[in-house]
Amino acid sequence: MKKDNLERFVQEHAGEFDSLEAPPASWDVIEERVLPIRSGRLKKFRAIALRSAAAVLIFATAWMLNDARDNRMQIKDADRQAITGMNYVIDELSDAEAYYTSKIQSREQELAIYAKDHPEIIEDLREEFRVMDQRKAELRTDLAESNADAKVIEAIILSYRVKLEILDEMLLELRQTDNESNNDTESGKEL
C-alpha cells in the first residue's frame, strides 16, 4: 500500500506539530482578511432575508384581507338571498290573504242576507272571528321573529281556511233551514 505524500509528511513531522504555536499577530491578520468577506456576505444575506420576509408578510396579509372580503361578500349574498326568499314567501302570504279575505267577505255578505232575522248568529260569529284574529296577530308576531318560517305561514293560512269553512257550514245550514221553511210554506199553500 502506497502512502500519500501528505500522510508521510505528517507522520515524519508529527512531533513538530505538537510543539509549534501560531504567532499571535498571525491570527489577527487572518481575522482581518476573513471578517470583511463574512460581513459583506452577512449583509447581503440579511438584506435578502429581510426582503423575502417582507414579501411573504405582504403576500400573507393580502391573502387574509382577500379571504375576509370574500367571507363578507358571501355573508351579504346569503343575507340578500334569505331576504329575497323571505320577501317571496311574504308576497305569497299576502296573495293568499287577499284571496281568503275576499272569499270570507263575500260569504259574510251572503250570511248577512240569510241571518237578518237572527242577528245573534252574526254577533256570535263576529266574536269567534275576533278571537281567531287575535291568534292570527300572535302568529304574525311569530312570523316576524321566525324569519318567515313555513309552519307559521301555514298556520296563518289555516286560520283563514277555518274561517271560510265556518262560514260555509253556517251558510249551508241557513240555506237548508230556509229551503225547509219555504217547502213548509209551499206545502201549506197547497193544502
What sign does the CA torsion over 171, 173, 179, 184 have? negative
Q: What single-letter DSSP state applies at residue 21?
A: -
Q: What is the pLDDT along the chain (191 residues), one digit of tens a residue?
A: 466 888 888 888 877 777 667 676 777 777 777 666 556 666 778 888 888 888 899 988 988 988 888 888 887 766 666 555 556 677 788 888 889 889 989 988 888 887 777 788 788 888 888 888 888 888 888 877 777 677 888 888 888 899 899 888 888 888 887 777 777 666 655 55
Q: What is the pTM of this model?
A: 0.50
Judged on CB neighbours under 10 Å (0-12, 13-18, 19+), 167 is: buried
Give the model's pLDDT for residue 86.
Answer: 59
